[in-house]
Amino acid sequence: MATLFVSDLHLDPSRPQITRLFLDWLQREATRAEALYLLGDLFEAYIGDDDDAELISAVATALRGVSEHGVELGFVHGNRDFLVGEAFAARAGLRLLAETEVVDLYGVRTLLLHGDTLCSGDLAYQRVRAQLRDPAWQRQFLTQPLPARRAFAAAARAESARHTSQANEMIMDVDAAAVDAALALHGATRMIHGHTHRPAIHDLGAGRQRIVLGDWYEQGSLLRVERDRLALEQLPLR
């Protein structure tokens, strides 16, 4: 059996083909896994567990189906779905994990995270992130009606696209010192994250490894880890 990892699906009604690909993959393959970890940005935007959008319900139902096959589901918040809460977790049959979570992955101490905290050079983003992760800000935001929250999310996506188009490519990638510090802090030899959309397996030396998950914009992307092998894989659109 394998442990599977995905991130940066950015599921959105405007890209139904990606949603179909993901839901089909959950039913066909994920149900046979030992565990499935979702490392953030499952949705393009998530405005609260009370969102009545059809997409949210469909994804929760599909994940619940995987869980009912005995597959352990873990979720790490991303920068687009940081408001996923216990109500959604209960509907989907998954467990909300810490911002940085350490797991024993077939004998390898492995650090799981979304990856945005590693981009320490992107100071503008880190300032916005600090605001959005503030519990007081989140409580105030969740008191607003759904149309207001949807409008805010649309504006935030537009601003994010503007920032991405203008920011230096270097500061939007992870900082090597931040990676080293995180591995050392948690006593891990392997790190798995998403966020940067730059899938690769990096040998860091001294028996350490950093694995970056791919996004789901033009295809599906996952990491498959078994006891004696691991591989990044793509899922073509049908």
**Structure confidence by residue, pLDDT tens digits, 77-129:** 999 999 999 999 999 999 999 999 999 999 999 999 999 999 998 888 899 99
Q: Note the pLDDT of residue 167.
A: 53
For the residues 199-208, what does the mean pLDDT come to?
Answer: 96
pLDDT in tens, 171-190: 568 999 999 999 999 999 99
Least Cα distance to 23 among 213, 216, 154 occurs for 216
For the residues 135-147, what does the mean pLDDT come to?
Answer: 96
> Which amino acid does the sequence have at 229?
R
What band does 156 get if pLDDT is binned at 50, 70 and 90?
Answer: confident
Q: Note the pLDDT of residue 161.
A: 78
For the residues 140-156, what does the mean pLDDT come to?
Answer: 95
Considering just the CA atoms, what is the radius of gyration of the chain in Å?
17
Distance, in Å, from the CA atom of 206 to the CA atom of 204, rounded to the nearest integer, reads 7
Average pLDDT along the chain = 94
**31: region left, alpha or beta (phi > 0 left; psi from -120 to 50 alpha):** alpha
Instruction: Domain ranges for the chain, please list them.
Output: 3-235
CATH superfamily of 3-235: Metallo-dependent phosphatases (3.60.21.10)
Structure token pair of residue 153: 């999310």
Strand partners, 78: none
What band does 50 get if pLDDT is binned at 50, 70 and 90?
Answer: very high
Buried/exposed code over 123-136 (b: 16+ C-beta within 10 A; e: otherwise): eebeebbeeeeeee
Report the run of H or E that residue 55 belongs to, with start and end. Answer: helix 54-67
pLDDT in tens, 11-40: 999 999 999 999 999 999 999 999 999 999
pTM over 0.85: yes
Top mean pLDDT of 122-136, 156-170, 178-192 is at 178-192
Structure token pair of residue 164: 């991405």
User: Where do we find the tokens 């149900």?
Assistant: 31
Q: Note the pLDDT of residue 165.
A: 64
**Count, residues in the chain:** 238
